Amino acid sequence: MTRSASAVLAAALFACACEAGGDTDAAQPPQPERGPGGSDYVHGSATITRYGAPLGDAAAYWLIEPAEPTPAQAPVLVYMHGWSAFEPEDGYEAMLVHLARKGFVIVFPYQGGPLDRSRWEGSSRQAVQRALDELARGAHPRPDGHLAIAGHSVGAALALRMAAPGEPAIPTPELVVLHDAAGRRAFADLLSEGGALARVPPTVALLVMQAQTSGPGEANEPDSFSPEAWEGTAHLTRRNFLRSYGDRHGTPVLVSNHNGCRSGTSARPLDAHDHFACWRPTEGALREAQGAAFPGYSALCAGPGPECDPVRDHGVWGDGVPVRRLANAADLGL
């Protein structure tokens, strides 16, 4: 045996911005003070609560809810974790707490474990059902009728599947956000099974976000589900494809890889990539799908013109040099 699973997958799961030194000492742009991805929080904190026991309950889930103050109503985001993840602390908590403090209730389903993939979608749907029941009955912000589904890696592919009608039934989301959907080499038919993509209702908006490098090994486009997700959803009228890039101009350098949106851990501290390439488009798209877009910002702006520059913007290094911008669908020739 010449290849080590632990080495290969550890590289994929915990790839970090280890190359700290860039071309200059210019600092990364700070988190925006306002707007999508910004620090203008309307809630002082977020609560994280587990419902059900993942060790004995495949349909367990976590709720991440806005607090201080607790709103009477809130939009709901379902977030699907990547393969082998277990709980929000596995690199998702910072982003999800950010979104909760902006007013969203997040449902984080436990998908049932890394094995028996045929059960992942069903377990997740069941967990979402339970979570929506809990939100409707318990001491929580009541769902305000807006629902979105996002996910990372293979969880992103599952998120798109869950936007199509299926069993157990869950409400159709207004929006699906894919954070570096990958896993194609291992789960080649995951998106195509049952004609799922064609069955996603045309009312659903879609934001496909792809890192510069994607999947185990970080250099294998064939592992990405993003092109298939894009090609299979041409019937959706509101969609965009965003690609982020690394930038070595300043220090620490910015890395755009498979776990670019899975940060806030000792292995991968938060950085400007989170704020500009993950949190901002995601939060912007969520608000846009609710009909409450941030003024002047459209995450779904897919055209070539300057009106889409806000979604391309990645901030400015400390010496005034712009960070390499995101590319949208038009920039990528899609």
Partner 1 sequence: MTTRELTLALREDDAGSPRFTAALAGERGPGIVVIHEWWGLNDELRAQCARFAAEGFVALAPDLYDRPATTDPAEALARASALRTEDATERVARCVRELRGRGAPKVGVTGFCLGGAMAFAAAASVEGLSAAVPFYGNARADYMVAERMRCPIQAHFAEGDPFARAEPAVGLARDVRAAGGRMDLFFYEAKHAFMRESDPDAYHEPSATLAWERAIAFLHAELG
What is the binding site for partner 1 (CB under 8 A)?
1-10, 13-14, 53-58, 60, 83-84, 86, 110, 112-119, 185-188, 216, 223
Work out how close the CB of 134 gets to partner 1 at its nearest, in angstroms, rounded to a whole number. Answer: 19
- Of residues 3 and 137, the one with the C-beta less far from partner 1: 3
Work out how close the CB of 331 gets to partner 1 at its nearest, in angstroms, rounded to a whole number. Answer: 30
- Of residues 117 and 324, the one with the C-beta less far from partner 1: 117
- Of residues 56 and 306, the one with the C-beta less far from partner 1: 56
State the Cα–Cα distance between residues 4 and 90, nearest whole angstrom: 22
CA dihedral 140, 144, 148, 151 (to 10 degrees): -10
Work out how close the CB of 110 gets to partner 1 at its nearest, in angstroms, rounded to a whole number. Answer: 8
Work out how close the CB of 214 gets to partner 1 at its nearest, in angstroms, rounded to a whole number. Answer: 13
Work out how close the CB of 183 gets to partner 1 at its nearest, in angstroms, rounded to a whole number. Answer: 8
State the Cα–Cα distance between residues 155 and 161, nearest whole angstrom: 10
- Of residues 156 and 277, the one with the C-beta less far from partner 1: 156
Work out how close the CB of 112 gets to partner 1 at its nearest, in angstroms, rounded to a whole number. Answer: 6
State the Cα–Cα distance between residues 63 and 50, nearest whole angstrom: 6
Work out how close the CB of 176 gets to partner 1 at its nearest, in angstroms, rounded to a whole number. Answer: 22
- Of residues 113 and 252, the one with the C-beta less far from partner 1: 113
| Locus of tokens 């080649």 | 188
- Of residues 89 and 307, the one with the C-beta less far from partner 1: 89
- Of residues 214 and 244, the one with the C-beta less far from partner 1: 214
Work out how close the CB of 11 gets to partner 1 at its nearest, in angstroms, rounded to a whole number. Answer: 10
Work out how close the CB of 166 gets to partner 1 at its nearest, in angstroms, rounded to a whole number. Answer: 19
- Of residues 110 and 230, the one with the C-beta less far from partner 1: 110
CA atoms lying within 13 Å on the CB side of residue 124: 32
Show the 3-state SS of the chain.
CCCCHHHHHHHHHHCCCCCCCCCCCCCCCCCCCCCCCCCCCCCCEEEEEEECCCCCCCCCEEEEEEECCCCCEEEEEEEECCCCCCCCCCCCHHHHHHHHHCCCEEEEECCCCCCCHHHHHHHHHHHHHHHHHHHHHCCCCEEEEEEEEEEECHHHHHHHHHCCCCCCCCCCCCEEEEECCECCCCCCCCCCHHHHHHHCCCCCEEEEEECCCCCCCCCCHHHECHHHHHHCCCCCCCEEEEECCCECCCCCCECCCCCCCCCCCCCCCCCHHHHHHHHHHHHHHHHHHCCCCCCCCCCCCCCCCHHHHHHHCCCECCCCCECCCCECCCCCCC
- Of residues 13 and 46, the one with the C-beta less far from partner 1: 13
